[in-house]
Structure 1
């Protein structure tokens, strides 16, 4: 028969186990991968990227890994996607938005950012910094990154690029670029753990409703990089797109209500 002291000791351990809190579920982190339109002050003095305002709309931690001047290609070659792949854990979310630096031509001079033309697995041979390199297409870079990220159990949101100032010609003009189509196709190739957000169209719609005078003031240096106020508006456009689509992977984590964000659902 166990002694009284041993019984009391067992009861004490049981009480301690019952009173101990259950281990906390790891908090989800949202990582942002993009160019200067998303990065902190990526467009020079008086500008800011929308990624710095997005955290105000989320109840999750946001880590902005966007870097000015990058394309899907250069972000890949520099190992920046690899860095994110190492960091992400199951259920984390990676938001990817490129396109402003992915166009152009590989000849006569390769700037290290231009992608190989094409919508699939095409490749181009180019010379960059005196070395022969193989260049992939825009969707191929996104698919490779997306599959590596989702293999870790994380989720991917691929967004269409935000527009340059659609009022700069005097009247409103916006046509989605080919990178919007490419982003959609990349999501389809990655699978169910990837989703598409048409950030470009939602931003364009809000810019149209605000009018030329207000939107021109959003672009203090050029037609691409926004002021802090403009960046905040671009961030709201992304939030509106999320909310109108039911939230997707961020459902339940967006602080705003649909009606509180300017713009209309499309």
Structure 2
């Protein structure tokens, strides 16, 4: 047994000092490749602001909290996470709409709690944004992983020529999910931080961030959006902020 002791010690040391992983779950505003040619998701730039943690981008374009759940993508991440890992969840761009006559497979049931709708197309029981995120969060925290829920990034706030921002209902929904999940969860108001940064940058700069539509950012825009997530994270006090190496400036909100 003494012959193998050094190998056992080395194995235990490796486990004790294992580098944690940050998994990203979201839509095209976060995903690699963004919304197509000329665009990029902000998740691809987070690695520039962190150290001592591995970042794995599992965001997929066109997804909502509902479709990400139904496709088993939250479960796939839960199968990978270990205690001490982190999961960033940010949805909202594809979660709106109505289930009154049609169903695109992405729209959530309207409401901030346990409401249930029936899909007029398939008869599926459709739950709320809160429900899907809460179930996803429980999968992660049950493994000892930390969850960060972020509000969705805004579209181009200078599109009309005048800056304007109203927080979407998903912001409040996200906060309620974090409250329900408890101490392993944290909230980042990503939308608010991006909105205020866009106001400071002005119309010319921000309009250039949107080369194809008012939702998907250019690489430069994605880098700016990533920076505002990091700022919101540092200001919010999540345990994930311990891995941030980038400096932040300006006020916290």
TM-score if structure 1 supplies the norm length?
0.89
Shift of 1:52: 0.2
User: What CA distance in whole angstroms lies between the structure 2 residues aligned with 1:102 and 1:17?
Assistant: 53
Residue in 1 that maps onto 2:222: 231
Shift of 1:251: 3.1
Which protein is bigger by CA-based radius of gyration?
1
User: What CA distance in whole angstroms lies between the structure 1 residues aligned with 2:125 and 2:236?
Assistant: 37
User: What CA distance in whole angstroms lies between the structure 2 residues aligned with 1:103 and 1:79?
Assistant: 20
Residue in 2 that maps onto 1:254: 244
User: What CA distance in whole angstroms lies between the structure 2 residues aligned with 1:165 and 1:17?
Assistant: 58
1:64 aligns with 2:82: no
The question of whether the paired residues in 2 share the 8 Å contact of 1:32 and 1:94 is answered with: yes
For residues 25-75 of structure 1, what are the alpha-carbon distances to aligned partners after superposition, in whole Å with 9 as ceiling and x for unaligned? Answer: 221000000000000122111000000000111111000000000000000
Structure 1 residues 140-155: aligned runs within 5 Å:
140-155=131-146
Structure 2: tracts of 5 or more residues without a match: none
User: What CA distance in whole angstroms lies between the structure 2 residues aligned with 1:49 and 1:43?
Assistant: 8
User: What CA distance in whole angstroms lies between the structure 2 residues aligned with 1:229 and 1:42?
Assistant: 12
User: What CA distance in whole angstroms lies between the structure 1 residues aligned with 2:169 and 2:132?
Assistant: 15
Q: Could you list the runs of 4 or more consecutive aligned residues of structure 1 that deviate by over 3 angstroms after TM superposition? A: none
The question of whether the paired residues in 1 share the 8 Å contact of 2:65 and 2:133 is answered with: yes
1:28 aligns with 2:15: no
The question of whether the paired residues in 1 share the 8 Å contact of 2:151 and 2:189 is answered with: yes
User: What CA distance in whole angstroms lies between the structure 1 residues aligned with 2:151 and 2:241?
Assistant: 20
1:264 aligns with 2:251: yes
Secondary structure at 1:23 match in 2:
helix
Residue in 1 that maps onto 2:30: 38
Shift of 1:200: 0.3
The question of whether the paired residues in 2 share the 8 Å contact of 1:244 and 1:258 is answered with: no
Structure 1 residues 111-126: aligned runs within 5 Å:
111-126=104-119
Structure 1: tracts of 5 or more residues without a match: 1-9
Shift of 1:245: 2.5
The question of whether the paired residues in 2 share the 8 Å contact of 1:35 and 1:68 is answered with: yes
